[in-house]
Structure 1
């Protein structure tokens, strides 16, 4: 049998009847092993993983995924893509993955699937494994569905809604707007109302085993100290917690939703720019009033509250990762998409445009690689399917393996010293170590003297040509504005006093079999930050986001 014939045979074998899947574990293992080079031609340990999955130990993640029909929202986003790739690579016999995609038509949804998901470099290992059969395999296993979580009916056609309601086993909600300064009405539509629209659809699903919601650990807002993995009660006010119930600011989620709608209507007569600015200001005001740092985490917290209040008897898991960054190991190290939280300042620093930032040198930046988040998500999925209740898993590093800001500065300095950006003439840009300031006044003085003032004086230097000095001034001004914006957005996090307890997550990891720990591990204490930052994350940022563009304008 040729390699292509074997792949075709596997495609045919992927549609089993329920009775056939109830054969003895040994018979099933023998059948699958005969095609192991087809399922994972480059993964020689796959047979060992399968043998463990069908044994008595571990959570049986691989076997759980077999035949499952999963609805995933936010599938064109960073984390959901890693989840999608992982499921397909580890369990090709998954039943069907339905991706809810916001598009005008089915054809447009398919286009987004091909260009934004399948076309991602994240899938290069799968493409190598499946070769010419990759497109056919993806066509069989992944179905794009036109839909929108901001609509009560999810924007589904009646026939599609009925079909999905009869088929779906698991719902994974990864849809979110993650802009810290998003418009209040937009953030509420997606982050607060979106999960409930999806949950209400889940109540119609006759075979639903689990509703899994991707949130963020920072929904804990301005809480400090070690923060436990506890679900929110409806209308919980962090400001009230801080004042031990004596605060006059009571939170009512439904009233916040109504307020956003009302203010949107009142701003309708304004220009688009003014309306957007006012809605952004409103979001920050409401978040601060009730004890959250910004609109993003406030609306995500209210989404969690509604899920807990409205879930009825549906099994629910809420996954709260901290700052999600590039993959540590799987499917390969360093893959990421988009400029994420720690990256804008790192890039500006590497280009010589930033020499200081506002942060507590002894503070902690809670970072977690994307593949660890996905592994924990799949483990939670296998453990809690069909199990009543609501369980929260926080996935972060601040308690067991903290990354201190001054250590991050050292690692950033060391990386760009050994692998500097270069200017248009190929000359390496030498950067001094980034300085961290704990107070805004000292930072502003330093930033003015070292960034803004040189740019302004540059145009008057007699030995400089005017066009060069103007370019220099423009770069300094732009850098100063960017740093100022990052300070406004990030300072609540660079001085964050909360530390995320991960007791539930550690217990979940302990339940994995040895083979599952190899394939689905998420042991946060094992992360070597020096290796991750210098050899994984920064190279990944340059390769996959900056696409190898190391040339920049020299100041």
Structure 2
């Protein structure tokens, strides 16, 4: 075959993808006489030339660096195909959207429009290169039985579907802005984020709208595909792409290669070579971690897998055997017809591999492997629905539970379970069609092509899938290859955790000032505004007055809790209304004389240590709190600045029950921090923030180094999603609480 391709000028698309990269490697290795031009799109500021050079520096190209000099780069994209060289002998089109569930417009734009535009450019060259189109065996859709190497029989109106698909983004973007969608998303966002602020809720609403658009583009594409007999948008658009190619083939030389499920290499460039995760890898990894309890396949259903080196070897053989113009040739590169792999055998081999080479399961040892019973799709769906309902109920309960270590631990476990359920729902919905497929891909033409090769070429370009030993491939080649990077990442994560250095670095000379912003209640102190109010007020009262005041506050407590959950500022104003009639000077005197011991008994030693570390590093320490100023007086030595609520007083110095200014809560804290940073030359991106409540989300988002301290469940979840630091600063061991915060004074 190398002789037949010697001196030919071949254009390749998609060489930065899995199949394209393997094909480029094979051509450079085994077809040294071919001239190669690769169509590569620039990516951001990286040019096509730079991307190609980076590709050719990969380890698999180490032995062909001299041959790599034959590769010429053509900068361009399928969305804007450039003019092609006029002396092309062949074109191999590997590029395309290979996601099973792309947004519908993207699927059409890449798999249909991109193919059409490329063919138009080929026509412009005035030559007649052999066009090799890489499709998928699953363009057969939801058919059953034997699938011949021939055109797919359907009467879909290509132009009508193309126009519809390309118009969907605009249509769905418009729908996403209707009151029906926005009201629903806004209500959910405000319910979750109103304590942080309405702008935070607005940002969450807009993010949810965009996610809705993305999900809807996927959903409508899937539904349209299935309504016409295809499994998903991917196979639907690939089938329509073939229709575009078949029109071109009426007057030109065309071959269409249809691989089934492409997985890691059997031999070349080395056993187990794979780039990224394909179809089976997420399922294999989830099973190995004990997170895939069942799969909706029948035990005897065939899963049609083919190693990538067999695919690219077949492509080269097809490339060297052009058909006559007007007679397109179809080739299935598949295994199910002559060397079937059943789901039962796949399961047994994967389980056997993880039995011998388990993933670490943390402190509990090896991950426990689920036992599949192949109960059928309906049974799996019932199990999943039941689990989703139970998770929803548990999630509601934990989300409304009082703050505690147990609540956070339950939230963490529920989040893990939720991610697992989301994974199962997505992949079971996505792969259910493939798991239930009863397809038998005929590969008679492909086998005949292989048998027509010389013995030497059969060895150099092996693509007879009947020789694959599935037990060896799965246990000794594929599973080790796909788990190796995950094991390395797990070990690196453990190493980072062991080597974590909590020491703060001093501010570098010439850089902006760094600040550390601290919340008070719940972060530095295990106290709250109601408790500290009682401390101050009950100091002025005796005997029966105290009992009456305690009873009154207990009666108000449910309403205060509801107010705090709705809006933090309203809650603070309601509590501070109770200070009406108190003399501010008396409150300050009580704070100086008696509050220090109370504060120190509630102050976390780890918090004090952290504040001092910041000061030693040259950072400005700032306390920002909604508590009233007298309550912060014992903490003054720790901070460079304290921003607290100021009680309004009349001309006699008596508190009116109102505040001098609005309390700093939620988004107002972030606004104050930005102003303070501008005034003092502070670099917020290099600064730290410490807080414990979801209402403090704007404070934490305003800095570059947020830290959640013993967070409530909503903040705990947000911090985990965004990989923020989470710390557990315990209260002082000397702290204790009584029903009378004023002590035993009589």
Q: TM-score range by the shorter chain?
A: 0.7 to 0.9
* Residues 78-116 of structure 1: CA deviation (Å, up to 9, x unaligned): 011000000001123322x2221121689611222233x
1:290 matched to 2:228? The reply is yes
Query: Contact (CA 8 Å) 2:104, 2:168: kept in 1 or not?
Result: no
* Residues 250-306 of structure 1: CA deviation (Å, up to 9, x unaligned): x20001111123333333434543433332222122211211111000000001011
1:438 matched to 2:367? The reply is no
Structure 2 counterpart of 1:376: 314
1:206 CA displacement: 3.9
**CA–CA distance in structure 1, aligned partners of residues 309 and 364 of structure 2:** 35
| DSSP-derived class of the 1:358 partner | coil
Give TM-score, length-normalised by structure 2. 0.57
| DSSP-derived class of the 2:257 partner | strand
1:255 matched to 2:160? The reply is yes
Query: Contact (CA 8 Å) 2:296, 2:380: kept in 1 or not?
Result: no
Q: 2:118 aligns with which of 195, 198, 201?
A: 198
1:82 matched to 2:22? The reply is yes
Q: 1:215 aligns with which of 120, 125, 135?
A: 135
Structure 2 counterpart of 1:22: none
1:486 matched to 2:427? The reply is yes
Aligned pairs (5 A) from 1:137-536: 137-138=67-68, 140-151=69-80, 154=81, 156=82, 161=83, 164-232=84-152, 236-237=154-155, 251-269=156-174, 270=176, 272-384=210-322, 389-424=327-362, 427-445=365-383, 448=386, 456=394, 466-536=407-477
Q: Which moved more, 1:486-495 or 1:448-457?
A: 448-457
**CA–CA distance in structure 2, aligned partners of residues 268 and 454 of structure 1:** 29
**CA–CA distance in structure 2, aligned partners of residues 451 and 527 of structure 1:** 43
**CA–CA distance in structure 2, aligned partners of residues 514 and 524 of structure 1:** 16
Distance 1:454 1:401, change over 3 A: farther
Structure 1 counterpart of 2:571: none
Could you say which structure has the greater relative contact order, defined with CA pairs below 8 angstroms and 6 or more residues apart?
1
**CA–CA distance in structure 1, aligned partners of residues 487 and 10 of structure 2:** 33
**CA–CA distance in structure 1, aligned partners of residues 355 and 43 of structure 2:** 48
Structure 1 counterpart of 2:13: 73
Query: Contact (CA 8 Å) 1:74, 1:101: kept in 2 or not?
Result: yes
| Unpaired segments ≥5 residues, structure 2 | 177-208, 495-746
**CA–CA distance in structure 1, aligned partners of residues 86 and 45 of structure 2:** 20
Query: Contact (CA 8 Å) 2:105, 2:167: kept in 1 or not?
Result: no
Distance 1:324 1:267, change over 3 A: same
Distance 1:523 1:424, change over 3 A: same
Larger Rg over CA atoms: 2
Structure 2 counterpart of 1:112: 51
1:546 CA displacement: 3.0
**CA–CA distance in structure 2, aligned partners of residues 302 and 449 of structure 1:** 38
| DSSP-derived class of the 1:329 partner | coil
**CA–CA distance in structure 1, aligned partners of residues 350 and 389 of structure 2:** 20
1:375 CA displacement: 0.6
Distance 1:288 1:91, change over 3 A: same
1:428 CA displacement: 2.6
Query: Contact (CA 8 Å) 2:22, 2:308: kept in 1 or not?
Result: yes
Q: Which moved more, 1:213-222 or 1:170-179?
A: 170-179
Structure 1 counterpart of 2:716: none
**CA–CA distance in structure 2, aligned partners of residues 265 and 293 of structure 1:** 25
| Unpaired segments ≥5 residues, structure 1 | 1-60, 238-250
Structure 2 counterpart of 1:50: none
1:441 CA displacement: 3.7
**CA–CA distance in structure 2, aligned partners of residues 452 and 113 of structure 1:** 50
| DSSP-derived class of the 2:306 partner | strand
**CA–CA distance in structure 2, aligned partners of residues 485 and 208 of structure 1:** 44
1:509 CA displacement: 0.8
Q: Which moved more, 1:487-496 or 1:330-339?
A: 330-339
**CA–CA distance in structure 1, aligned partners of residues 353 and 214 of structure 2:** 39
| DSSP-derived class of the 1:429 partner | coil
| DSSP-derived class of the 1:436 partner | coil
Root mean square deviation, CA, Å? 2.8
Structure 1 counterpart of 2:37: 98
Distance 1:266 1:329, change over 3 A: same
Query: Contact (CA 8 Å) 2:384, 2:425: kept in 1 or not?
Result: no
Query: Contact (CA 8 Å) 2:249, 2:325: kept in 1 or not?
Result: no
Distance 1:99 1:385, change over 3 A: farther
Q: Which moved more, 1:506-515 or 1:204-213?
A: 204-213
Aligned pairs (5 A) from 1:40-55: none
Distance 1:318 1:168, change over 3 A: same
| DSSP-derived class of the 2:366 partner | coil
1:320 CA displacement: 0.2
Distance 1:349 1:524, change over 3 A: same
**CA–CA distance in structure 2, aligned partners of residues 455 and 369 of structure 1:** 44
**CA–CA distance in structure 2, aligned partners of residues 89 and 188 of structure 1:** 34
Distance 1:451 1:363, change over 3 A: farther
| DSSP-derived class of the 1:165 partner | coil
* Residues 35-74 of structure 1: CA deviation (Å, up to 9, x unaligned): xxxxxxxxxxxxxxxxxxxxxxxxxx11123222211111
Structure 2 counterpart of 1:49: none
